[in-house]
Structure 1
Amino acid sequence: MTRIVFLDRGTIGPSVKLTPPSFSHEWVEHERTQGDEVVERLQGAEIAITNKVPIRADHLEKLPDLKMIAVAATGYNILDVAACWAHGVVASNVRSYAQKTVPEHVFALMFALRRNLVGYRQDVIDGVWQKSGQFCFFTHPIKDLSGSRLGLIGGGSLGEATGAIGRALGMEVIYAGRKGGQVSKPGYLPFEEVLATSDVLSLHCPLTPETEGLISLAEFEQMAQRPLLINTARGGLVDEAALVTALDRGLIAGAGFDVLTSEPPADDNPLMKIAERPNVIITPHVAWASEEAMQTLWDQLIGHIENYKRGHPANVIT
């Protein structure tokens, strides 16, 4: 009987219906798994399901029965892909499940920051409105998204979906070319020009050795429009200490981050020290996690497992 082990069930919301595969199997799930527990928990398993638990080469060497890894996410930097191939392990990831939920989260952050909802909400809680003596007051600037320039760094499916919403709201949407590279696509501008001219910047690129630290102090100093910076992609794209400096110096108007370099963040993470500022919103990596998106993710993942058992694996990571 096929043994299937889900290493981190806690990464999928409790409302999601975890429909099991249709073939005969033994199902084992763990709420979370530490690195030193991976080998023990996957002993005898043919299929592993993981969202954020790394499975590395030294693990695979001790798991001769493992034949498939189903990643419950799009990003797969938790896997040693070369080692998977070397050990004959098929690895599949889920794709195109978050085109609605992530862009909606992006614009939730944009609206909240552009209209200073956090600051005004706190003013009401603190009694400022009650003491103002008039029907409204102006303790924080309010700006429209319509008519502003939205610069997107990353033109994949999520970047395209975000751009479509921006255009529907009356924003001018531009895409950044590769940092230091030539621009050849229509609608793309040089990376440096996008930094310098955008009112809102939103990141949608993967974290690779080339994009790690993509935005640091030198890039913040090029942001002539004092934009909002939105990051729902990967934390390592932005130098977090430089982000704090940029906010302190007024180089940007605000930051909306759903991802951090280390998750959950340590107490000494620079962004934790400024999380209560009205122009900073940090959410705990939930842009992807609408109930609808999580159900789509799970249904696709089970489909990959079914396809593997039929001998026709899909979304294979290469």
Structure 2
Amino acid sequence: MQRIVFLDADTFAPGVEPPQPRFPHQWVNYPATAPDQVAARAVDADILIVNKVRIGARELAALPKLKLVALTATGFDNVDVAAARAKGVAVTNIRGYSVNAVPEHAFAMILALSRSIFAYAEAVRAGRWQAGGQFCFHDFPIFDLSGKRLGLIGSGSLGARVAELGRVFGMDVVFAGRKNASAPGAGRVGFDELLATSDVISLHCPLNAETENLLSDREFALMTRKPLLINTARGGIVDEEALERALDARLVSGVGIDVTRPEPPPADSAIMRLARRANVLVTPHVGWASLETQRVLMDQLGAALESFVDGGRMNRLD
């Protein structure tokens, strides 16, 4: 019998049921797990399921029975895949499950910021409409998306879907080549050119050594069109202190953030200071979290577990 331990089950909404693999198993859920609790809770696990709990070489060394780490996410920066491979532990992730949810969340942010929806709604609640004495008031900027350039950093399934939505709104959609590449590649524009010419920039790339602090002071200084910046990818891709400086200098006109590092951000962090601004939207990493998407994820998790036990390699990272 396979012992399955899920270390952070409360990362899913109430009512989203875990899969029921067809092989004999015992399934144990923990709502959340601190770093110093991993070894004790997972010591007898054959299969370990994690969303954001860190599993590095130290944790792996303490788990002698472990055969598989199954991520309930696409990003795997919280699991040391090389250390797992060296120990003979398989690693799987989830793929393509949020192809509607995350792009829709990104575009909801684009629409809300381009129309200053939340700023106007808050002003109405504060009595500004009556104080203005006119049928409308113009305290916050509004711009149409049609004809504007949408620059996408990351061209996987999520970036491609955001591109489709952008074209529906009549936007000029471009994808960035790799930063510092000698040539952008077919169908792409140079990284710096995208920063300089885009009215909206949306991030859809993984967090790794190449993309950590991908956007910092130098990159913000290139944004001559003062774009909206949307990050539904990973915290750590954007230097948050540099972003605060860029907003102060009006190098970007608005920001939508669904991901931070760490999560949740400290109360005194740059992100929480930014969240109080009228032209910034911060949501708590829920872009992926429609009920439909969570159920698709659980179905795929169950299939990956069954594949592993049957000797298959579905969604393997190792």
TM over 0.5: yes
Structure 1, unaligned runs of 5 or more:
none
Q: Secondary structure at the match of 1:118?
A: helix
Tell me how far apart the structure 2 counterparts of residues 137 and 253 of structure 1 sit (CA, whole Å).
Answer: 20
Structure 1: 4+ residue segments shifted above 4 A: none
Pairing 1:82-121 to 2, within 5 Å after superposition: 82-121=82-121
What's the CA shift string for 1:242-263, capped at 9, x where partnerless?
A: 1111111111101101111211
What's the CA shift string for 1:100-151, capped at 9, x where partnerless?
A: 1111001010001000011101110110112222221111111111111001
Pairing 1:116-265 to 2, within 5 Å after superposition: 116-265=116-265
Per-residue deviation, 1:184: 4.8
Query: 1:287 matched to which residue of 2?
Result: 287
Query: 2:72 matched to which residue of 1?
Result: 72
Query: 2:49 matched to which residue of 1?
Result: 49
Per-residue deviation, 1:34: 0.7
Give 1:32's aligned amino acid: A
Give 1:272's aligned amino acid: M
Q: Secondary structure at the match of 1:235?
A: coil
Q: CA RMSD in A?
A: 1.2
Per-residue deviation, 1:154: 1.1
TM-score by length of 2: 0.97
Tell me how far apart the structure 2 counterparts of residues 26 and 235 of structure 1 sit (CA, whole Å).
Answer: 34
Tell me how far apart the structure 1 counterparts of residues 242 and 113 of structure 2 sit (CA, whole Å).
Answer: 20
Query: 2:40 matched to which residue of 1?
Result: 40
Per-residue deviation, 1:294: 0.9
Structure 2, unaligned runs of 5 or more:
none
What's the CA shift string for 1:159-218, capped at 9, x where partnerless?
A: 111111101110000111111113353331111111111000011111111211111111
Q: Secondary structure at the match of 2:27?
A: strand
Tell me how far apart the structure 1 counterparts of residues 98 and 137 of structure 2 sit (CA, whole Å).
Answer: 38
Give 1:45's aligned amino acid: A
Q: Secondary structure at the match of 2:69?
A: strand
Q: Secondary structure at the match of 1:226?
A: coil
Tell me how far apart the structure 2 counterparts of residues 57 and 185 of structure 1 sit (CA, whole Å).
Answer: 37
Q: Secondary structure at the match of 2:152?
A: strand
Tell me how far apart the structure 2 counterparts of residues 253 and 193 of structure 1 sit (CA, whole Å).
Answer: 18
Tell me how far apart the structure 2 counterparts of residues 76 and 103 of structure 1 sit (CA, whole Å).
Answer: 20
CA contact (8 A) 1:199 1:228 kept: yes
Per-residue deviation, 1:87: 1.9
Q: Cα gap change, 1:144/1:179 in structure 2, threshold over 3 Å: closer, same or farther?
A: same
Tell me how far apart the structure 2 counterparts of residues 298 and 268 of structure 1 sit (CA, whole Å).
Answer: 35
Tell me how far apart the structure 2 counterparts of residues 183 and 264 of structure 1 sit (CA, whole Å).
Answer: 38
Q: Secondary structure at the match of 2:64?
A: coil
Give 2:17's aligned amino acid: K
Q: Secondary structure at the match of 1:5?
A: strand
Tell me how far apart the structure 2 counterparts of residues 292 and 220 of structure 1 sit (CA, whole Å).
Answer: 36
Tell me how far apart the structure 1 counterparts of residues 24 and 178 of structure 2 sit (CA, whole Å).
Answer: 48
CA contact (8 A) 1:8 1:30 kept: yes
CA contact (8 A) 1:15 1:291 kept: no
Give 2:308's aligned amino acid: Y
Give 2:209's aligned amino acid: P
Give 2:215's aligned amino acid: I
Give 1:157's aligned amino acid: S
Tell me how far apart the structure 2 counterparts of residues 184 and 153 of structure 1 sit (CA, whole Å).
Answer: 12
The alignment-based identity, stated in percent, is 50
